[in-house]
Amino acid sequence: MSYLGVGASPGNVPVYHETSLKVVDRRVRLAELVLRFVICGLGVLTAVLVGTDTQVREIFTIQKKAKFTDMKALVFLVIANGIAASYSLIQALRCVVSMVRGSVLFSKPLAWAIFSGDQVMAYVTLAAVAAAAQSAVIAKLGQPELQWMKICGMYEKFCNQVGEGIVSALLVSIGMVALSVISAFGLFRLYNGSNKGKSNSGW
Amino acid sequence: MSYLGVGASPGNVPVYHETSLKVVDRRVRLAELVLRFVICGLGVLTAVLVGTDTQVREIFTIQKKAKFTDMKALVFLVIANGIAASYSLIQALRCVVSMVRGSVLFSKPLAWAIFSGDQVMAYVTLAAVAAAAQSAVIAKLGQPELQWMKICGMYEKFCNQVGEGIVSALLVSIGMVALSVISAFGLFRLYNGSNKGKSNSGW
């Protein structure tokens, strides 16, 4: 008797199919969980990097201080990333609870809410990082045609730290876009699975 | 014999259900078509408003000219809206062809491509409008802490036209977000319909 023979039996094919789907589901759930925690961490990192960034320079006995509130785009970036971090933490905890309980998400309204939430967060974080990047480009290169001088020669440490914050914020928005795709997949599976007797749309 | 009695017959319920679904489908397809043409028009309007915007001022015999290429964010806005307009025109023509032929989209890869395309365009147009809006806010209000002076007092006509362009671009990105939702619905229907013998996922 051969093990290969078991796999070839027509009766076993759906079992094999269902098992492979469950493996894929488990991997997708794990990827979602890791991604949500990473986004939470990076969101906090962005908010801390940008929010605590200051530099004092002395020019002819006059002290000048650069801080993130000088640029409205950076304030928006800190707020957006703070919201994204909180949202991701709540969603990550939901993932942990459902994984520990082994429960399965069958509620279409909830799946739609998660998909919509991920989409809104992706749009908000992307808009914030685009606005901040635009300000950062002006600060770094200046806009001589408009007499907006570059300030990064003067506040080098301040600019570098903002730059690190923007890179981190960019990773947050890319992560949110990836999560939107994952939650779209989850929603499709749910619609797909509900017509098969809710057998293998387990997440 | 009563008409109400016909409605109550169990045999007629699926027919009624299918008919109402077809009505919804037709309305969604029409909304999609109208939205794609509106986005195409607004995209062209944005590109023309911003791309042709110039103003010459004379200050102490020196001529100064403001043009959209002075701000990199406006160049990005023109390019992004040009791409969005072209993309929407192609998609609108696809909608017209499928409506005229009465053909139904059953190809999952194509539905995924449309959904992904709409998503990418929504992200790109939103990032462009966020960056342009940030530049516009600096131009309008200035950023006195960084010695970036407002320029809209000097170039009022130029700024107003850019403002109109940004409003139009904002409508384009909101429209693209709405289209993403519509194409997500289309994709869900396709997954849903495919398990019912592909009977009512008609678009």
ipTM tops the 0.90 cut: no
Structure tokens at B123: 């992200």
In this structure, what is the dihedral angle of CA atoms A161, A163, A169, A170, given to the nearest 10 degrees? -160
Pairing outcome for strands A62-67 and B62-67: unpaired
Count of all residues that appear for chain B in the document: 203
CATH number of B111's domain: 1.20.140
Structural domain contains residue A185: yes
Residue A199 lies in a domain: no
Q: Are A88 and A36 in contact (CB under 8 A)?
A: yes
Cβ <8 Å between B70 and A143: yes
**Domain of residue A97, residue span:** 26-192
> B123 and A126 in contact by Cβ < 8 A?
yes
Exposed / middle / buried, residue A48 (Cβ in 10 Å: 0-12, 13-18, 19+): middle
CB contact under 8 A, B148 and A145: no
A55 CB neighbours in chain B (<8 A) are: none
pTM confidence score: 0.81
A positions 99-118 inside 8 Å of B (CB): 115
Query: Is B130 part of any domain?
Result: yes
The residue type of A8 is A
Instruction: Give the number of domains in chain B.
Output: 1
What tens-digit pLDDT sequence spans chain A (203 residues)? 444 444 444 444 455 555 666 777 788 888 999 999 999 999 999 999 999 988 888 877 788 888 888 888 999 999 999 999 999 999 999 989 888 887 766 688 888 899 999 999 999 999 999 999 999 999 998 888 788 888 888 888 999 999 999 999 999 999 999 999 888 888 877 776 544 444 333 33
With beta carbons less than 8 A apart as the criterion, state whether B86 and B41 touch.
no
Residues of A with CB below 8 A from B120's CB? none
Give the C-alpha distances (Å, rounded to integers) separating B41 from A99, B28, B47, B87, B156.
Answer: 48, 20, 10, 12, 26
Evaluate whether residue A2 is within a structural domain.
no
pLDDT in tens, B77-101: 999 999 999 999 999 999 898 888 8
For residue A5, being part of any structural domain is answered with: no
In a domain, A41, yes or no: yes
d(CA B37, CA B29): 12
Residue A106 belongs to a domain: yes
**Is residue B202 in a domain?**
no
Helix (H) or strand (E) holding A182: helix A156-194
Closest residue in A to B173 (Cα–Cα): A123
